[in-house]
Structure 1
Amino acid sequence: MATPSALPGFNAPAVGFEQPFAMLEACHERVQRTLTLLQRLRTHVQEHGADVPAQQAARDVLRYFDIAAPLHHEDEELHVFPLLLAKGAPDVAALVARLQHDHLCMTADWAAARLPLQALADGLQAVFSEADGAAFDRFIARYDRHIADEETVAYPAAQALLAAPALEAMGSEMAARRKVPASAR
């Protein structure tokens, strides 16, 4: 099994924080690649057990959803959702309420999916149970729907409401939360 860095196209397109919505979509691409890695890991463990490549892949999935995904959700909660709740059309505001609820559910879904991945990464578990698979499926399905709704409705609606200075401020704040130096933005 290849490690994530060896997966074709694992590196995101070179977008910067000066284009915050392109950065949010690049994060979605990384989410989807990491979810694909999780699916491949499940198959690999079924066929080969918890070997070293499986343990490394589990660590890679853990790292992404422990570190990067929460920052991405925070970006949305601070910059996209409040704007749409305040100024978006009623149907968009209703969608945002569900997206916010999704973030809460994703936290719980991740907690359930995280346990068997951590056990596998630590060498304490050699296979995934049916319950583990169900937790992974729930996590993946919620993310798939969530990303589709954000990219087709929420992001375009938010972009239409933001002028260039507000987009620049949004990108700067996103970079600052990640401690990206101003010279690298």
Structure 2
Amino acid sequence: MIPLSRGPAAELAPGDVVGLLAACHANVRARLAEAALLARAKSWDERHHASARAVHDYFAVAFPLHVEDEDVRIGPELLEHHGPTIAPLLFELHDEHERAEELRLLLLGDWARWRKEAGPVSRGHHHVLRRFARSTAVHLTREEQVLFPLVDALPEPTRIAIARAMVAARRG
């Protein structure tokens, strides 16, 4: 499932980039909660494997698209509109994306394996998942408080173009 092309995002007004980002953030939080449940599972059945598939597929496909939206489609427009004073913020957010990427890659292998096989869940997986979930939660909140208002301040034609590019990226 790649959420931006279906469900709540389909009901958003044209140019509602913040709505699209908020939908992504809700999906990230939901998949992280699902991943935490998987990591605590003591016995496995088909529901666990289906959950592992959903978590894996989200973090293998949709999550990188979300990061790409922020770094490639939104960041340059923010810099152009708001000027160089926001460059440090954009750099920090990009750096947080890079650190999250390292953790995401460490987790993907387990999630891929669990699509067909049961755990076990290693202590290392628990540790990496906790770090990924904690740092991602802080990052998402920061974006919602600081980045979203900057995005909303972009001119409407710019927001419409960004939203179209975000949806097009998911449709391939």
Q: TM-score normalised by the shorter chain: which range applies?
A: 0.7 to 0.9
Of the three residues 146, 150, 154, the one matched with 2:147 is 154
User: Quick one: distance in 1 between partners of 2:97 and 2:11?
Assistant: 24
Of the three residues 138, 151, 159, the one matched with 1:145 is 138
Aligned length: 165
Unpaired runs of 5+ residues, structure 2, are: 2-6
RMSD: 2.2
Normalised by the length of structure 2, the TM-score is 0.85
**Any idea what SS the aligned residue of 2:171 has?**
coil
Could you report, residue by residue, the CA deviation over 1:118-168 in whole angstroms, capped at 9, with x for unpaired residues? Answer: 222231x521011110111111112101101111001212321x1111111
Q: Which has the larger radius of gyration?
A: 1
The reply on whether 1:73 has 2:44 as its aligned counterpart is no
> Per chain length, whose mean CA-contact separation is higher, i.e. which structure has more relative contact order (CA < 8 Å, sep 6+)?
2
Quick check: 1:80–1:155 contact (8 Å CA) kept in 2?
Answer: no
User: Quick one: distance in 2 between partners of 1:88 and 1:30?
Assistant: 31
Quick check: 1:17–1:172 contact (8 Å CA) kept in 2?
Answer: no
Deviation, structure 1 residue 89: 6.9
The reply on whether 1:177 has 2:169 as its aligned counterpart is yes
User: Quick one: distance in 1 between partners of 2:30 and 2:84?
Assistant: 32
Identity %: 27
How do residues 1-185 of structure 1 correspond to structure 2 at under 5 angstroms? Answer: 12=8, 15-16=11-12, 18=14, 19-43=16-40, 45=41, 47-48=42-43, 50-86=44-80, 87-88=82-83, 90=85, 92-123=86-117, 126-160=119-153, 162-179=154-171
Normalised by the length of structure 1, the TM-score is 0.79
Runs of 4+ with >3 A deviation: 11-17, 83-86
